[in-house]
Each structure stands twice: as structure tokens, then as C-alpha cells.
Amino acid sequence: MLTMAPMYSEKVLEHFRNPRNMGEIEDPDGVGDVGNPVCGDLMRITLKIDDETEIITDIKFKTFGCGAAIASSSAVTELVKGNTILEALEVSNKTVIEELGGLPPVKVHCSLLAEQGIAAAIKDYYERRPDKQIPPQVQEKIRKLDRLDPHEMPG
Ligand code: FES
């Protein structure tokens, strides 16, 4: 039996058709590889970060996944580019959903990949710079995301 396709906002469709910042930064300062074990979708976030100001000066994504995951990746790159690391950590999957004008409930988990990808890339940045102290906000965010069980996420 055929079922109705989920309804997407214009903004989701627009990001999906014209994704921003797609690709991979050469010689990145941080790389975040994340995936959803339930649907099998994968996302790689690469970052350039100014060591002095800790501003994210460039960001790119590569996503092997559904349209909502691609739109979420594109939206999150626009949201965090130019932010400091601590500002970027404030961006949650809810921020991404708002930016996209909503996502169907079965697609909420796709926006979570974007939040996880940013957090993983920031963590990687600190791991590459042992001279820097990893801020407690980064550890807290990673702990929060690790506690989420993707099997219990909607969709
Ligand atoms: S990220 Fe898996 S279905 Fe969208």
C-alpha cells in the first residue's frame, strides 16, 4: 500500500536543492564523522578554526543520507560559520529545525546528525591541540549527545 510522503517546508527543499558549503576542507583543523546506526546515514563536518579567536572561519559538510540530513547539514554550516566555538555549541538540532521551518516528526533524527557532527569536529580540534584546554561546555555537549539513544529518537 502506498503511504503519504512527509511534507517538507520550502526552506528544506531549497537547502536540499542548493546545499551551502558542501564538500571537504583540505587540511582541516577539526573533522567530525558521525552516523545514525538506525538508518545508516553518515555525515562528515570539516572545520577551519582561528587558534587565537577560536572563530570558525570555514566549514564544509559531506553527507551520505536523506534529503532532510542534507538540508540539516547545509543549514547548520550557515548557522555556525563565523561563530566562536562556544557559540557554535549553542546550536542544537532544535535550532536547525527552526532554521529549516520545521521537519516532519519522522525526520527529526536527521537534524541531530548536524548537531553531533559539529560537536565531534570541535572535539577533534581540541584533540589535535593538546596545548589547549578543552572547555567544559564541549565535554558536556559530547556527554549529552552520547547519552541519546538513536533507537529511541522519533523516526
Ligand atoms: S538521517 Fe537517516 S533518514 Fe535522515
What pLDDT, on the 0 to 100 scale, is given for residue 148? 80
Query: Exposed, middle or buried: residue 83 (CB in 10 Å: 0-12, 13-18, 19+)?
Result: middle
Tell which one of 8, 34, 39, 106 to mutate to probe ligand 1, the residue whose CB is within 8 A of the most ligand atoms. 39
**Ligand 1 centre distance from Cα of residue 66 (Å):** 5
Cell of 62: 559531506
**Ligand 1 centre distance from Cα of residue 53 (Å):** 34
Measured distance CA(19)–CA(53) in Å, rounded: 28
Options 66, 89, 100, 110, the catalytic residue = 110
Q: Which amino acid is at 70?
A: I
Q: Which residues line ligand 1 (CB under 6 A)?
A: 36, 39, 41, 65-66, 68-69, 107, 110, 113
pTM assigned to the model: 0.92
Nearest to 109 by CA among 61, 62, 65, 44: 65
Domains of the chain: 10-150 (3.90.1010.10)
Using only the alpha carbons of the chain, give its radius of gyration: 15
What pLDDT, on the 0 to 100 scale, is given for residue 5? 65
What pLDDT, on the 0 to 100 scale, is given for residue 11? 97
Tell which one of 43, 108, 109, 111 to mutate to probe ligand 1, the residue whose CB is within 8 A of the most ligand atoms. 109
pLDDT tens digits in sequence order for the chain, 155 residues long: 566 666 899 999 999 999 999 999 999 999 999 999 889 999 999 999 999 999 999 999 999 999 999 999 999 999 999 999 999 999 999 999 999 999 999 999 999 999 999 999 999 999 999 999 999 999 999 999 988 866 666 54
39 is catalytic: yes
What pLDDT, on the 0 to 100 scale, is given for residue 7? 87
- List, in sequence order, the alpha helices (H) in 46-105: 67-80, 85-89, 93-99
What pLDDT, on the 0 to 100 scale, is given for residue 154? 53
